[in-house]
Amino acid sequence: MIITAKKGKADKIHISVDGEYSMTVDAVYWYSLGISSGDEIDGDEFEILRNKVESRRAFNNALDILSRRAHSRVELIRKLRRKYSEEAVNTALERVEELGYIDDEKFAEDYAQHLYEVKHMAPYAISKELMLKGVDRDIVSRVVDEIEFDPQEEIREILEKKYAGCLNDEKQTRKAYNALVRLGYRYSDIISVLRLYSEGEL
């Protein structure tokens, strides 16, 4: 089997085997492989090359994904497995973790803080969101326990921000109640604060 490398656009190198296109890699990686255009390899060597190239592409894709926002380990695995083999994904993840680009505890802390401060979610809903991202239950528990949370104060803040002047309307009150349930607040806390509004104490 004869390997042929042809320069493509930007830093791309198109690799052909016996004159038939096989794969594309970035130039830096191609030259790091120590293979020259015109070299002859056997079937086993070609499979090794193909696996290395796929792992490199999975790694580059992982970096691109992480450059847009932080991800949990499981979340990144799910995305990469849509396009790459398990072996390529595992190799890419090892490299990403070596570089310190994935840290589930840090991810959970930052994401939980965002959900709490921006989305005004209660701990129960934050825990569900983190577990949906694939964060380990023990990490979720530690992170959520560290949030300083006053449910009734948070409910009052949400009501004043989004429903001020509307809570004398039964439809709007029901809408507010349903929204608070979705955010993970307990029935008893919601009803307690809504009762204070209805009695004119807030």
Query: Between 194 and 130, whose confidence is greater?
Result: 130
Burial of 35 (0-12, 13-18, 19+ CB in 10 A): middle
Query: In this predicted model, what pLDDT tens digit does every residue of 151-165 receive, in sequence order?
Result: 989 998 888 888 777
The tokens describing 111, both together, are 């994401």
The per-residue pLDDT of the chain, averaged, comes to 88
Which residues on neighbouring strands pair with residue 6, listed in sequence order?
14
Phi, psi dihedral angles at 201 (to 5 degrees): -90, -5
202 pLDDT more than 60: no
Query: In this predicted model, what pLDDT tens digit does every residue of 84-101 receive, in sequence order?
Result: 999 999 999 999 999 999
Residue 200 pLDDT: 62
Distance CA 10, CA 195 (A): 65
Distance CA 26, CA 57 (A): 9
Architecture label for domain 3-98? Orthogonal Bundle (1.10)
Cα dihedral sign for 194, 117, 136, 66?
A: positive
CA proximity to 1, closest of 31, 38, 54: 38
Residue 199 pLDDT: 67
131 pLDDT more than 70: yes
Phi, psi dihedral angles at 20 (to 5 degrees): -110, 130
pTM: predicted TM-score of the whole model, two decimal places: 0.75
Distance CA 125, CA 114 (A): 12
